[in-house]
Amino acid sequence: MTSESSFPAIAFIGGGNMARSLIGALVRGNTPAASIAVAEPNADLRVALARDFGVEVHARGADAVHGAGVVVLAVKPQVMQAVCAELAPAFGGARPLIVSIAAGIRIAQLRDWLGAELPIVRTMPNTPALIGAGASGLIANASASTEQRRQAEAILAAAGRTVWIEREEQMDTVTAVSGSGPAYFFLLVEALEEAAVAQGLPRETARVLAAQTCLGAGRMMIESGEPPATLRERVTSPGGTTAAALAAFAAGDLRGLVARAVDAATQRGRELSG
């Protein structure tokens, strides 16, 4: 997927779960560990990153970004301004590509905090990236070149699928759909499990059937490339069990409920960005 020639040196600022998943995916995809540096204040995490991936580790972000062509900001939104204030002087005259995976932090905020018109890509991965099955939306500012966009996409694609969006405000909807979306899926599996238990199935049996069914349906949709409506219609025989269940969902206004949930998450994302 990647090679020594395809990437400049990469510095990760923050070594938590999401950064760890991206680093692991890059190393497995043949990005040399020697080209990756990580800044992480937690000593235990630094030791684990160096041991597991062979990457260079630092306690301070300013030390990690020296010579880096790509800087991945993987810290919590609440500390991003302080992190940028530390990094800005360390860049000197360099103009590395900045890739931010922090929820709610806008490109304009990063530009102001870094104090320079740097190439910036903002992205929103989700937690399935931890197992290489993530979904990430990306948007770049005008300073990011085609090659830098490709570099950012390759970093995120190492841990799942990527899509580019046209306007930054759409990132709030990306957050509502894919960023928060795993929780919706887990809730559905919970509900299926509880319903099956209420019908008399043992809990462990109900959980296995519900989880595997959802996994299989998701894989079928991705691998077939067919619209979900087509697949739904294919398994719905008139007057059958599936039709009865879908009628109950319709009576409960499932589509309207999902629309309201996504709208609520989108609006909250806008509030956090503001």
pLDDT at 5: 45
| 3 occurs within a structural domain | no
| 2 occurs within a structural domain | no
pLDDT exceeds 90 at position 212 = yes
pLDDT in tens, 43-100: 999 999 999 999 999 999 999 999 999 999 999 999 999 999 999 999 988 899 999 9
| 229 occurs within a structural domain | yes
pLDDT exceeds 70 at position 1 = no
Alpha-carbon dihedral angle through residues 13, 17, 19, 23, given to the nearest 10 degrees:
130
pLDDT at 3: 40
pLDDT exceeds 90 at position 273 = no
pLDDT at 2: 39
Tell me, yes or no, whether 219 and 237 share the same domain. yes
Residue type, 58: H
Tell me the average pLDDT across 183-188. Answer: 96
Tell me, yes or no, whether 88 and 133 share the same domain. yes
Q: Give the integer Cα–Cα distance in Å for 264 and 262.
A: 5
Tell me, yes or no, whether 111 and 146 share the same domain. yes
Average of per-residue pLDDT values in the chain: 93
| 263 occurs within a structural domain | yes
Tell me, yes or no, whether 131 and 197 share the same domain. no
Global pTM value: 0.85
Which CATH number fits the domain that encloses residue 86?
Answer: 3.40.50.720
- Per-position b or e across 205-241, b if 16+ CB within 10 A of its CB: ebbeebeeeeeeeeeeeeeeeeeeeeeeeeeeeeeee
